[in-house]
Amino acid sequence: MSTELKKALFNISALADLGQAITSENAFHEKIQSVFYVITGTFLANRGAILSYDKSAKKLNTLLQKGFDSADLDRVQPDELMSLGKNEPCLIGTDPVLAVSGAEILVPLWVRDEFIGALLLSGKLTVGPYTLEDLELLNVIANQIAIALNNHSLFMDLAEKLEENRRLYEEMRHIYHGTLQAFAAAIDAKDAYTQNHSHRVAKYSAAIARELGWSEHDVEGIYVAGYLHDVGKLAISNDLLNKVTPFTPEERAEIRKHSTTSHNITSKIKFPWKSVEDMVWHHHERLDGRGYPDKLANESLSDGVRILSLADSFDAMTSQRPYRKKMDVPAAIAELKKCLESQFDNKIMLVFCKVLDKEIKGELPEPDILPHLDKTSDLSVISALLGGIIVELSTPKSGV
């Protein structure tokens, strides 16, 4: 396994395990340390520290640190940090109040109105300052760390604060998804033509599964699978991913390895959802058995695989690629219909069309597909096309 792939596995596993960190006192320090390594590794910072606030002593204690002088960290005053934005990264610059030798950025950690501690990082080893995207990701991570630290404290007095812990756990779960989204964006960024692809596939897949009547827990599972379905592309060279000329047979075989590599990564993560790794592994299979990597067909393909396959293909067709221009939405829908029963499932296609039709008609409170489509599309044309397909797929075939 390549170094880059090992790093990807470590990062995803550490983020997935943080949920266990707040419910297991014995594993807390190990898990928070893993997340600390993820943070410093993600931003290529050679120095970092997580400080926790002791409310009774009104002082900050160093929970984890790398590269900083302990005496410098001891001089950080909590009263000064409490006046700053909650979980908002602050560039230290020449500010004498925030100054810690070697630190470039400081993030006060809060849960609601309670000050929890602080995260400090040095400058990045690479050339250039922290970007706006870096600061947004740090904000998401700060929320996650703050909740984990706060829950660690709450579990010391569980009998008194049980209901508060339950609410905070739910917040942590949602924030974990935010962190997962940020990590998936890094995967998509490897291919200049597929930025936000994982996000869209996750949203499309969840919308279809929800319309099918899946439980919210299972919808969450396919949402995660959508985000991670292409993680194996981290093992493929950028030159190959961004090639503008047709692939050779050898290059096509190399590209196709990404689904198995994605499975190898996700199968090592203890997800709370079933079949994430199966959906990731087989999202390029076809009903007629002509897909890859295992040439599965018909009953061998779960509904989750069929959903992810259709969502991935639809987004690929409506996105610009190095080797072709993107299709407009009506053309992509027509192509999906053309490939029914050979590549895509009739039931999944019917549900997809119903969801998109409801979104166009304003019948769903939070659209998941329409916001990501080409804003120049003629919705009346799309709606008419969807209506015809819905009628056709809802009508029993003669003799059946």
Task: Report the alpha-carbon distance of residue 2 to residue 134 in Å, rounded.
Answer: 25
61 - beta bridge partners? 52
Structure tokens belonging to residue 315: 């987004």
Predicted pLDDT at 211: 96
Fold category of 3-186 in CATH: Beta-Lactamase (3.30.450)
CATH code linked to domain 193-394: 1.10.3210.10
Distances (CA, A) of 169 to 11, 100, 147, 178, 274: 21, 32, 8, 14, 21
Dump strand ranges (E) for 67-216: 90-91, 105-111, 114-121
Q: Is 13 helix (H, G, I), strand (E, B) or coil?
A: helix
**pTM confidence score:** 0.60
User: Cis before residue 322, ω within 30 degrees of 0?
Assistant: no
Local structure of residue 24 (DSSP, 8 states)? -
- Residue 239's pLDDT is 82
Q: Residue 295 in contact with residue 285, Cβ under 8 Å?
A: yes
In this predicted model, what pLDDT tens digit does every residue of 301-352 receive, in sequence order?
A: 999 999 999 999 999 999 877 667 888 999 999 999 999 999 999 999 999 9
pLDDT at 159: 38
Report pLDDT for 11.
52
What is the side-by-side order of every strand in the sheet holding 59-66?
59-66, 48-54, 114-121, 105-111, 90-91
What is the C-alpha separation between 171 and 143, in angstroms, rounded?
9
User: Residues of the chain whose pLDDT is less than 70?
Assistant: 1-27, 97, 127, 154-170, 172-194, 322-323, 398-400
**338: part of which helix (H) or strand (E)?**
helix 329-338
Domain segments of the chain as ranges: 3-186, 193-394
> What stretch of H or E contains 29?
helix 28-42
Supply the pLDDT for residue 336: 96
How far apart CA 86 and CA 246 sit, in angstroms, is: 50
